[in-house]
Chains A and B, each alone.
Chain A
Amino acid sequence: MTSRRIRIDVPALTRVEGEGSLRLEVRDGQLVELGLSIFEPPRYFEKFLEGREAKEVVDIVARICGICPVAYQMSALNALESLSAQMASPWVQQMRRVFYCGEWLQSHALHIHLLALPDFLGFDSAISMAGQHPDEVKRGLKLQGQGNALIRLFGGRSVHPVGARLGGFHHAPAPEEVAALVAKLQAAQQDARELTRFCAALPLPDDPQAFTCVALHHPDRYAIESGEIRTSTGLSLSADQFEQHFHETHKPDSTALWSDLDGQPYLTGPLARLNINHSQLPDFLQTRLSEIGLTLPSDNMFHSLIARALEIELVLHEAIRLLEEYEYPASPYTALSLEPGTGCGMSEAPRGLLWHRYELDKKGLIKSARIVPPTSQNQARIEADLHRSLTAFGLDHDEEALRLRAEQVIRNYDPCISCATHFLTLERVET
């Protein structure tokens, strides 16, 4: 009898940063063990927030992630502002969407060009790919740069931005600054068009599988900064109802919590969003879908790459549309008073649903906090996908081929672990 034990180490993962590994054991051509482990050190952010004033939360949660700080800020603000009888102004709501567009743009551009493309073009890293595909890498850097510029416009800086506050922003950008950036975003649209066509032309594996999609849905627009939960199983939930259906559990192998939807794994992220909200894409993207021959909803997880490219086109379009009508506001924020109680809020981080809950006491201090990030929500789905995809791929493949396919499957979810481009090492044991 031959058994293989394949160990895959992930040296840079977690909700934010950290480490993880994948264990595979194959006996008689059957996958008998598969474990996705995350061993990130606990980060205690929820505990750090206890006793803090509500106004401090937005700056503290911005430091949870270097790639998607805007998502943490917007989900926190949605949760806390639900405790106010007043609302942020329409200007603030629109500019929060623009701010968030910047994050999707930079995160998706980084993921596609520097993390995912080397897999599909046959390189072990973006650095080795850059020599033969410099134009693709430069396009990625340019698009990412425009996304960061959008974040800086409102956030002051692109990493851990500091511009957001309860009720709005500390500062409104000058109209001439906005106009200069709009011109650059318009120039980037050609790159984005080419990117979608490029991604659609890649030889992506054809790997259909059944999975449940979870995404925010907004009645008026493709949900980014706000909305209610929709699932492909037919649920429609407010932020307050999240905990009735979504549960987190500890697993021995993982310091990150695992999430389930009524006991089942589910997908959150670009493909889930596109599957649920594709009818709200603007006309030019409906045309693009026909042009590239992508039928939605898609049951091929590898279409996540194309979904990110389409969302890059979408957010460029949205940011330009909203900023072309930009008017300098009388005030960049509304002074909100918050009532004691529990507030829940959520938004769509680049890699999926990000839900927050805060309990505010009578003194206006945070009594408890709970944050459910997308990477932990996708963990069970990643493991189910690995099981199914590797079996369908063929467990008789050599270690290198299995490792590459496992990496591709994991990267489809854009977890924070894929910060490191060559993160899986295989150890094969034959008995």
Chain B
Amino acid sequence: MNTNLPSEQAQLIIGIGSPFGDDRAGWEVVEQLQRMDLPPEIRLLSLDRPGVELIERMRGHARVTLIDAVHSEEHPPGTCLELTPEQLHLLACTSTHGFGLADTLKLGQSLDALPPSLQLCAICISPPKQSPAAIITPAIQTAAVTLARQLALQVHPSGTYTMEPSCSR
């Protein structure tokens, strides 16, 4: 990764999550991408429930991709979705803080502070149980690998990443 590249020329891919269980889906995608030989203008970042700080972290980047886990009753666990901010608001994000991802993006919109190109990728997970698992479940792990490959091909189409079935839009 070339960290000297000006932010406005770089594309930022941010995995949002926390260390445990399926909530780490966004982090898992970023970890997969870190193992791939991506072009230097691709910046990768894992954030632990950043709240409104996400707006500052995205500032100055022309293109940002966000990946987060969402609870959805309509889709089986492991489904990858590409969402608009409005669609995101209808789903329950896993953030336990007052300002979840949907609220943060709404605030960013009000401030006209979102990047010109913003892509939102969600991985559907089951609602948390009373004792959430410490490790990611196989279905979510597979989804994270699939999404990572898709994103790698998107930013570097000439790359040789093995392609899995595509995510829904």
A158 contact from B53, B55, B97, B111, Cβ within 8 A: B53
CA distance A66 to B94 in the complex (A): 14
A6 CB-CB contact with B under 8 Å = no
| Number of residues from B at the complex interface, CB < 8 A | 21
Which residue of chain B has its CB nearest to the CB of A106? B53
B52 CB-CB contact with A under 8 Å = yes
A92 CB-CB contact with B under 8 Å = no
**Residue ranges of A at the interface with B (Cβ–Cβ < 8 Å):** 12, 17, 66, 106, 110, 114, 126-128, 130-131, 134, 137-138, 141-142, 144-145, 148, 157-160, 418-421
Which residue of chain A has its CB nearest to the CB of B19? A160
CA distance A127 to B111 in the complex (A): 9
On chain A, the residues within 8 Å of B57 by CB distance are: 145
On chain B, the residues within 8 Å of A160 by CB distance are: 48
On chain B, the residues within 8 Å of A126 by CB distance are: 107
Nearest Cβ in chain A — how far from B4, in angstroms?
13
Given A17-B97, A134-B112, verify A159-B50 contact (CB < 8 Å): yes
**Residue ranges of B at the interface with A (Cβ–Cβ < 8 Å):** 47-53, 55-57, 96-99, 103, 106-107, 110-113
Asked if residues B48 and A114 are in contact (CB atoms below 8 Å), the reply is no
Q: Is the interface of A mostly helix, strand, loop or mixed?
A: helix
Asked if residues B98 and A421 are in contact (CB atoms below 8 Å), the reply is yes
Nearest Cβ in chain B — how far from A73, in angstroms?
15
Asked if residues B103 and A141 are in contact (CB atoms below 8 Å), the reply is no
Nearest Cβ in chain A — how far from B2, in angstroms?
18
Nearest Cβ in chain A — how far from B48, in angstroms?
4
Which residue of chain B has its CB nearest to the CB of A159? B48
On chain B, the residues within 8 Å of A418 by CB distance are: 98
CA distance A134 to B113 in the complex (A): 10
On chain A, the residues within 8 Å of B56 by CB distance are: 141-142, 144-145, 148
Q: List 13 A-B contacts (CB under 8 A).
A: A17-B96, A66-B97, A110-B51, A114-B99, A126-B107, A130-B110, A134-B110, A137-B107, A141-B53, A142-B56, A145-B53, A159-B48, A160-B48
